[in-house]
Structure 1
Amino acid sequence: MNQAPTAPRICLALPTNRACSAALTALHAEAAYAVREFGADVRLLVLDSSDEATRAAHARVVAELPAAPGVTVHHLDEDAQRDFLRRALTGARLPDPERLLDLMLPSAVSYGACTNRAFLLAAALGCDSMHRRDSDSTYQLHAGQPVFPVHHELPWLGRPAAEATAAGVRTGLDPARADRPVSLVGASFIGALSVDIAEIRDLDEAVYHDVVGLWASADWSEERKRDLVEESFTGAGTDPFTGDLATLTVVDPMRVDMCNVAFDHAVYERVPLPPATDTIGSDYFLLHLVHDAGLPGIQHNRHIENFHTPERRTDTGFPAYQRRFVKFLLSMRYFHHVYDRMAAEGDRLLDADRHVRPGTVTALLRESTALDRAENVWRLDRVDTAYRKLGGRYAAFAEQLATDRDRLLDEAEQDIEDYARLTEAWPALVRAARTTPLAPMDG
């Protein structure tokens, strides 16, 4: 691939709430690679929500990173993030800023909210794109060298797809979309399932198929549900990287993972991610939006290696993680409706400048909140039956779930309402963020 004619400023972002010193060092090496190979100006952004001792260890790692011209590291704890958000919200002059602050920086775990903060900070740093990595993953090695995804992310992101085609990039893109910008570049992962539920499959494969199939829409055929189960959470399998393969296309959301993705600023500065708490998969919405709007992307094979940290299987971590999984299943009642409607809208999701229309997305989200909850009641019934079959701590979780049903149903609907509210406020918040400096305590 040829490199872009002008040096972009990029945000290479790592949100974390766990110890990840090795990931920080590896991310810095990827940032240096982006400067060395593409002349990029890299803002390495670490959003640190871990405990005080872990943050201190991370700060020591950051302080000891070797000097790398063109790489600027920003290590922000939650106090620094909150300070920035308050000032941006003040500049945006939006109603009920405290509620919006809660959606941007909730007290509970939110994969979407942490990435939204990265989006806003990327805007504040004047970045052309945001490149997301995770702390529970690592880069593959090939011939002794790390396989950095930024190799494919930087050359074409934000440029007309036709330029990539003219330079010889393999393409499966409809020529009618060649004038549209490359809006997403991504790959997947190899290794452990992206969702830590392999134990269910080991205990009872039939129960695993039943439970995983619950994230399908209730009206799907059994064959379609089976296909979904077979490919769910498996990423790119287990085969290691042997050589580069990249294709210009409208990227299938099932072929990209959020630990290995980059977005052009024209996408994330218009629509945020769902800020839902205690819900896995809440950070995947933009993959669907880019796909359904027919925006070009590059799908490559520099997959990241995924692993699971042990806290998800502790006595406290297990029920918390299972609750996130159940909330993900319930969220799909609403998201399937929105995805179907976005697919039907197609090109109408874009304005005359080929940018996504936030108002259209907001309207579809609000429309979905009127859906009947009966399908989600059915999902909870199926989960209850399945987990009781598994016995042990799964049966104990089913008991807990039985007392929490109404609250879960309410939360699933409220999450969508909150997302619509944030999406409506997002353009003004991004405009304010662009002129909001990072806090003085920024490292």
Structure 2
Amino acid sequence: MRGICLTLPTNRPCAATIAAVGAEADYAADRFDNDVHLLILDSCAPSVYAEHAEAVRHLPRSPRLTVHHVDEARQRDFLARVVERARSAKAELLLDLLLPDGVSYGACTDRAFLYAAALGCESVHRRDSDSRYQTVHGRPVFPVHHELMSLGKPAAQAARGVSETALTQEQSSRRVALVGSSFIGELSVDIGGILAADPEVYRDVVSLWAPAGWSAEQKRELAAESFRGAGTQPFERDHSLLTLVDPMRVDMCNVSFHGVHEQVPLPPARDTIGSDYFLLHLVRNAGLPGVLHNRNIVNHHTAERRTDTGFLAYQSRFAKFLLSMLYLHHIYDRMAEAGDSLLDERGRIRAGTVAAFAREATRLDTAENLQRLDALEAAYRRLGGRYAAFADRLAARRERLLAEARSDIEDFALLTEVWSELVAAARHTAPSPPPGPPPGAASGSGLPGVSR
């Protein structure tokens, strides 16, 4: 019986999401022959953590479902022991990359990858705290259904359980490395206020994440498509396509990985949205099969982003995302050129090749990013109000932002170079036990969280 890890990283109150993902975990344990580990990596303050712990206590009970609700102190303890076992010469830096002080979408998922290895799980299935499931006739539509139908199987075998197949014969001999879908609802990036205020400024801003050499028409098309997911069409009936999945069709709130997540990590960039999408590009460029299905999750934005503090923080992350694209587009292009040669004779990703592409990217001229900052600042000043205030903040931090964007890729290269050693160490490192079971909980299994 295989183990799977359904993970929910969070740094915000989300008791309702915990209940919903718990129901999905119970569905996976009940309908499929798996041991399900629901991993909640909780970076919230103690009062919110306590609310989440209460939600965990009310999750369904099943002999095949174990819930691990882990605060940052226990995450740090686990990671420190993993890094120590890996005997890295840069242990302190690695620990800081995996559990930084700031927000890191890539690092929180990397932690889930390492926990999954420690728990003996073959696959990782990620959800987000600012999303919910669609329902049909009052029943939630769980993405894990399609994930467990195909993930990890040889593509030729998975083809019997999907609606359509679009693979070459050679690709059909490989295992399905990714199963995912998208979302409906609000934009995945919280810049809808810009679109409402001035559609032309919105197009100018969103086009900044395109490669610099693209035509004006290509950039307009990208702006029209970006961050919209699957639009607004609700779920009606299942459809799944076995193919080389287009990264633009998958969101990280609705994705699962097999194998590849143990070979290459996600960029651990701090305060940068989009840093967790790297593996979607890698899977496609390497010619690894995936399944794209239509059980889209519903995206919504939390109230915190509407506050002045939340607005400034999010716009800073968006600006760093735009700057990261100088480097990531280079890496994506190099991976696309490499194609099947990214795989070794066992069908595994050559992590050293990916790391070398990242090192190569750090030597790029930053003139393109200077132009991005100029254009972004000018666009925000045209909007006025708090966007203009953010433009002032952007102007004052130009050099720092440019340096951080480059160092983020250097950090990614380092983490990629030692990732296999960290995963191997995690497999032999038990997660820390909880300080004690909460009132009314069943006795645990020696792992952090509550045994269900």
Q: Pick the TM interval, shorter chain.
A: over 0.9
Question: Matches of residues 238-317 of structure 1 in structure 2 within 5 Å?
Answer: 238-264=232-258, 266-317=259-310
Shift of 1:167: 5.0
Residue 148 of structure 1 is matched in structure 2 by 142
Residue 199 of structure 1 is matched in structure 2 by 193
Question: Matches of residues 169-180 of structure 1 in structure 2 within 5 Å?
Answer: 169-180=163-174
Question: Matches of residues 95-114 of structure 1 in structure 2 within 5 Å?
Answer: 95-114=89-108
In the TM superposition, structure 1's runs of 4+ consecutive aligned residues that sit over 3 Å from their partners are 166-169
Distance in structure 1 (CA, Å) of the matches to 2:89 and 2:276: 25
Shift of 1:294: 0.6
Answering whether residue 341 of structure 2 is matched by residue 356 of structure 1, we say no
Question: Matches of residues 108-123 of structure 1 in structure 2 within 5 Å?
Answer: 108-123=102-117
Distance in structure 1 (CA, Å) of the matches to 2:31 and 2:58: 23
Residue 229 of structure 2 is matched in structure 1 by 235
Residue 3 of structure 1 is matched in structure 2 by none
Distance in structure 2 (CA, Å) of the matches to 1:51 and 1:221: 46
Give unpaired runs (5+ residues) of structure 1: 1-6
Question: Cα deviations across residues 302-335 of structure 1 (Å, max 9, x unaligned)?
Answer: 0000000011121111111100000000000000
Residue 175 of structure 2 is matched in structure 1 by 181
Answering whether residue 341 of structure 2 is matched by residue 386 of structure 1, we say no
SS in 2 for 1:65: coil
Distance in structure 2 (CA, Å) of the matches to 1:238 and 1:248: 23
Distance in structure 1 (CA, Å) of the matches to 2:223 and 2:132: 25
Question: Matches of residues 12-31 of structure 1 in structure 2 within 5 Å?
Answer: 12-31=6-25
Question: Cα deviations across residues 240-273 of structure 1 (Å, max 9, x unaligned)?
Answer: 0000000100000000000000000x10111000
The residue type paired with residue 58 of structure 2 is E
Work out whether residues 381 and 388 of structure 2, in 8 Å CA contact, stay in contact via their aligned partners in 1: yes
Distance in structure 2 (CA, Å) of the matches to 1:263 and 1:111: 16
Distance in structure 2 (CA, Å) of the matches to 1:191 and 1:142: 16
Residue 430 of structure 2 is matched in structure 1 by 437
Corresponding residue to 1:423 among 416, 420, 423: 416
Shift of 1:221: 1.4
SS in 2 for 1:422: helix
SS in 1 for 2:282: helix
Answering whether residue 388 of structure 2 is matched by residue 395 of structure 1, we say yes
Corresponding residue to 2:158 among 164, 172, 178: 164
Shift of 1:65: 2.0
Corresponding residue to 1:53 among 26, 47, 52: 47
The residue type paired with residue 300 of structure 2 is F
Corresponding residue to 2:402 among 400, 409, 422: 409
Shift of 1:362: 0.2
The residue type paired with residue 412 of structure 2 is Y
Corresponding residue to 1:138 among 132, 137, 147: 132
Distance in structure 1 (CA, Å) of the matches to 2:44 and 2:185: 25
Work out whether residues 152 and 175 of structure 2, in 8 Å CA contact, stay in contact via their aligned partners in 1: yes
The residue type paired with residue 357 of structure 1 is R
Distance in structure 2 (CA, Å) of the matches to 1:171 and 1:412: 39
Shift of 1:69: 2.4
SS in 1 for 2:184: strand
Shift of 1:63: 1.7
Answering whether residue 52 of structure 2 is matched by residue 78 of structure 1, we say no
SS in 2 for 1:41: strand
Aligned-CA RMSD value: 0.8
Distance in structure 2 (CA, Å) of the matches to 1:17 and 1:199: 23
The residue type paired with residue 49 of structure 2 is R
Work out whether residues 42 and 69 of structure 2, in 8 Å CA contact, stay in contact via their aligned partners in 1: yes
The residue type paired with residue 430 of structure 1 is V
Work out whether residues 23 and 59 of structure 2, in 8 Å CA contact, stay in contact via their aligned partners in 1: no
SS in 2 for 1:73: strand
Work out whether residues 167 and 243 of structure 2, in 8 Å CA contact, stay in contact via their aligned partners in 1: yes
Shift of 1:144: 1.2
Work out whether residues 162 and 240 of structure 2, in 8 Å CA contact, stay in contact via their aligned partners in 1: no
Residue 341 of structure 1 is matched in structure 2 by 334
Among all aligned residue pairs of Structure 1 and Structure 2, give the percentage whose two residues are the same amino acid. 62
SS in 2 for 1:131: strand
Shift of 1:293: 0.3
Residue 368 of structure 1 is matched in structure 2 by 361
Distance in structure 1 (CA, Å) of the matches to 2:179 and 2:377: 39
Question: Cα deviations across residues 196-222 of structure 1 (Å, max 9, x unaligned)?
Answer: 000101111100000000000110111
Distance in structure 2 (CA, Å) of the matches to 1:255 and 1:191: 15
Residue 56 of structure 2 is matched in structure 1 by 62
Shift of 1:169: 4.4
The residue type paired with residue 180 of structure 2 is G
Answering whether residue 321 of structure 2 is matched by residue 328 of structure 1, we say yes
Distance in structure 1 (CA, Å) of the matches to 2:198 and 2:415: 40
Distance in structure 1 (CA, Å) of the matches to 2:30 and 2:59: 16
Corresponding residue to 1:32 among 23, 26, 45: 26
Distance in structure 2 (CA, Å) of the matches to 1:77 and 1:168: 38
Residue 4 of structure 1 is matched in structure 2 by none
Question: Cα deviations across residues 73-130 of structure 1 (Å, max 9, x unaligned)?
Answer: 0000000000000111111001120110000000000000000000000000000100
Residue 318 of structure 1 is matched in structure 2 by 311
Q: Give the stretch that moved more between structures: 9-18 or 29-38.
A: 29-38
Shift of 1:143: 1.6
The residue type paired with residue 68 of structure 1 is S
Residue 441 of structure 2 is matched in structure 1 by none
TM-score (norm 2): 0.95
TM-score (norm 1): 0.97
SS in 2 for 1:328: helix
Question: Cα deviations across residues 14-66 of structure 1 (Å, max 9, x unaligned)?
Answer: 00001111111111110111111112210000000011100011111112223
